[in-house]
Structure 1
Amino acid sequence: MQGLVGSPGWIAFGDNGGGDRIAVDLTPGPRGHVGQLIVLDHEQNIGAALLAESLTDLVVNRRSGWHADRRGDQPPAVADIGSLTSLQAAAHPELEVLSIGGWDGEPLSLTPVTGLPRLRTLTAYPGTLADPLEIAKLTGLEFLELGPDEWRVLLDAGAVPRSLSAAAIEVHGDRHPLPITAIANELLALWDRPPITQTLIEGHLGPAA
């Protein structure tokens, strides 16, 4: 199976009763074949697992278990630091998606993941990064999600990665929307995109009932 978050060639037609979708695979990986049946595990962020060679194989041989199309000792492409003990534990050449959230320790340095060849997505809960400017060293990022303060640091330093295809602002707590909108518009301007339209409405609601 291909190591993707989804594919138009994965045609889901059923489930296993536990939230996992069963699909026909029309876009197999190099070791697979068209028509194999796969399971899309609802607890996984990427990839699928092989269930049967075909629908006939599933019915005739009553296949019920499945296995992932990677070695059990191969590190995952997605890492959530909230469930790991350290950033060092997530740093390996196959890492593609790094999520830092639910971290109660000291803010983290991104030094352990600098230079990883396949890292393309970073999401970091506000306040979890020791130095947001270290993001500039992650030259292959395609998606970046940060808190408003972290984005402010990057914008003021002119260090927003130009490799990005998409970005998100993670807001927690009671924050006024206008400064957040200003940050979003600055990001849009870097790619010559139209700004978010702001409309001011004035009026009198009358006396309280």
Structure 2
Amino acid sequence: EHPLSERRKILEQLIGSLDDSAVILSPVIKCKTWEELAELRQTSRSINSEGIMLKKLSSHYHSGRKRGDWWKWKINPYTVDAVMIYAQKGSGRRANFFTDYTFAVRDGENLVTIAKAYSGLTDKEIKEVNSFVTKNAIEKFGPVRTVKPELVFEIAFEGIAESKRHKAGLALRFPRILRWRKDKKAVEINTLEDLRQLLASTI
């Protein structure tokens, strides 16, 4: 039951004794102010990181997800406004509701799929979307419903990469619904070119 400060020293000694370049010890970040740390946090994506992990030096190791001693300070996610075009019923307590959605962006006059998302809406919003899907389904493919492209959502994600999984040729990393954009119409969603430019800026 050693505190982190002691466990770190033991780990440094262990890693230092290994002749294996594949085993790397994560660096310790030292900052004098929160402002300095916040500025450093903004560079996380340049090293393919989601943010900074803050840990109390006096903390003990706990299994599970104990809160308080460790805190993952993530960078703000990327976002894109997309329209829902497919819906499928969920599982478990959501088995009777359409909760699994596929989203698309504009590519000229066409819509191309870019991501699937299953979380982010409140129970009230899920019921509203479920009602919309039930009333506005255009086609049925097994459990999947094609719906009128009218509902716009802001999708948050951590990264973007080329992929053959979606018609857009791109895939979003860890997509989830940030909010329902009831203030926007489908003609106002982002375009495929917007996402291609974002991809180019991250390479």
Q: Which has the higher contact order (CA 8 A, sep 6+)?
A: 2
* TM-score normalized with structure 2 length: 0.20
User: Whose strand fraction is larger, Structure 1's or Structure 2's?
Assistant: 2
* TM-score normalized with structure 1 length: 0.20
User: Whose helix fraction is larger, Structure 1's or Structure 2's?
Assistant: 2
